[in-house]
Amino acid sequence: MADVQIMNGNQLIAEAALLAGCRFYAGYPITPSSEIPELLARRMPEVGGIFMQLEDEIASIVAAAAASYAGYKSMTASSGPGISLKQEGLGMACMMELPLVIVDVMRGGPSTGLPTRASQSDYMQARWGTHGDHMIIAVAPGTLLECYTETIRAFNMAERYRTPVLILSDATLAHLSSGVTLPPPDTLEIVDRRQPAVEPENYRPYEISATNPVPPLPNRENFPRYRFHMTGLNKDATGFPTENATTVLADENRMINKIMDASADIESFEHYQLEDAQVAVIAYGSNANAARVAIKEARAQGLKVGMFRPITVWPFPFQQVMELGRKFKHIIVSEMNLGQMIHEVQRALQGRSELHSVLQAAGTPIRPQQILQKIREVSA
C-alpha cells in the first residue's frame, strides 16, 4: 500500500534525512527553515541520534562537521543570512573532505531581506560562497516528493564523494503542505561511507587508490580505532599540513576532479515537452512549476515550447545546456532573482541562441502568466 503523508517541504527534508541515516543535527532557528530543527528535535532522539541547537550558525556548521569527522551522517540547515555565516565552516569541510548536508531554504536578501518570502537568491552563493578553488554539489528540488528523494540523494553523494552537498529549497516549497506518496524505504538506495581496508596504524585519511579518487573514511563504529589528523590547511595523504607545491596542486585537482569526473552520476535533470518544441524555458526549483503551467497554456494556444529543469544545479549542467543551444533559436531563463543562473546559461550557449529572461526578486513567486507572456513575445 502506498505511503501517503501530508507534510510540508521542510518536514519531508527532515524525515528523509533520518531515513538516509542522519544521526546528528546541529542548527540555529531561522525562517523559513525552522520546521526542520523543530521536527528533528523530537525525532532524532527516537532513532538514537543527537540533536543540538547551538548559539549561532557558525557553531552549528562546525559542530556538524565535527560529527561527520567522528563518523556520523550529519546535517545542518539555515537560510540566506545563516548560510553566509556558515561559509567558513563549509570551506573547512570542503578541505577536510567531510560528508555533510547543508539545507538552504532560500529567502530574499541581501542582509535580513524578506524572512518569510520566497527567493532563489542563493544560487551563486551555493557555488562561490566560500573562498578558494573548490567544487561543490548542490541540488534544487522542485516538488514536495523531490524534497524527500533529493535529500536522500544528497546524503548518498556526500558519503560517496566525501564532500559537502547543499540542498537549495525555498520558502514556497518549505511551507507548502500536501499529500505526498512516498516510495517504500526498501526501494531507495542508501549509501554508507566506504570503510578503510587496512589496519589503523596503516590508515591514511587522504591516500587514494589507483581506481578510486575518494579515500575511505571511518564511520561512527570504526572511528574509535581509526584516530587521524585533519586540518583546514592543505594536507598530504596523512592529513598533516604541507606546503609542498606539487602535493598541494595534485590534492586541489583531485578534490575538484572527484566530483567533475563523476558528473554522469551526480547530474540530474528533467526534459519536459522538448521533443517538438521550438522555444525552450530553463527553470529550477519551485519556479519550474510556474513554467510548467505556462507551457501547458502555451501549447493549448498552439505554441510549441518545452522546459529544461536542472535538479542538480552545481556542478552546472554545462553540456546539457550547450546541446539546447544547438537546437533552439530562443531560450528563456526564469528564476526568482535578478539574474544568477542565467549567466551560466549564457556561458554554455556560447552565443548560439537568443537569450531571454523572466526574472523577479520581489518576494513573490513568478506567476505562470509572466512566463507565458514572454513565450508569446518570443514566439511572435
Q: Tell me the C-alpha distance between 247 and 241, whole Å.
A: 10
Q: How far are the Cα atoms of 107, 283, 367 from residue 298, in angstroms, in the given order? A: 29, 16, 14
Domain 1-266: assigned CATH number:
3.40.50.970
For residues 65, 68, 72, 74, the Cα torsion angle rounded to the nearest 10 degrees is: 50
Q: Which residues lie across from 306 on neighbouring strands? A: 280
| Residue-range domain boundaries for the chain | 1-266, 270-379
Cis peptide, bond prior to residue 81, ω within 30 of zero: no
Q: At what angle do helices 368-379 and 287-300 cross, to 10 degrees?
A: 50
Q: What is the pLDDT along the chain (380 residues), one digit of tens a residue?
A: 457 789 999 999 999 999 999 999 999 999 999 999 999 999 999 999 999 999 999 999 999 999 999 999 999 999 999 999 999 999 999 999 999 999 999 999 999 999 999 999 999 999 999 999 999 999 999 999 999 999 999 999 999 999 999 999 999 999 999 999 999 999 999 999 999 999 999 999 999 988 899 999 999 999 999 989 999 999 999 999 999 999 999 999 999 999 999 999 999 999 999 999 999 999 999 999 999 999 999 999 999 999 999 999 999 999 999 999 999 999 999 999 999 999 999 999 999 999 999 999 999 999 999 999 999 999 98
Residue 318, exposed/middle/buried by CB under 10 A (0-12, 13-18, 19+)?
middle
Q: Which residues lie across from 309 on neighbouring strands? A: 270
Domain 270-379: assigned CATH number:
3.40.50.920
Q: Tell me the C-alpha distance between 285 and 126, whole Å.
A: 14
For the chain, give the longest Cα–Cα distance: 70
Judge contact between 289 and 316, C-beta under 8 A: no
Which alpha helices (DSSP H) does the chain contain, by range? 9-20, 35-46, 57-69, 80-96, 123-128, 144-161, 171-175, 245-260, 263-266, 287-300, 318-327, 341-349, 368-379
Find where cell 589528523 sits.
229
pLDDT the model gives residue 2: 56
The amino acid at residue 275 is E
Q: What pTM was computed for the model? A: 0.97
C-alpha cell belonging to residue 76: 545542518
Domains 1-266 and 270-379 share a fold: yes
Q: Tell me the C-alpha distance between 348 and 324, whole Å.
A: 9
> Residue 217, CB half-sphere, CA atoms under 13 Å: how many?
27
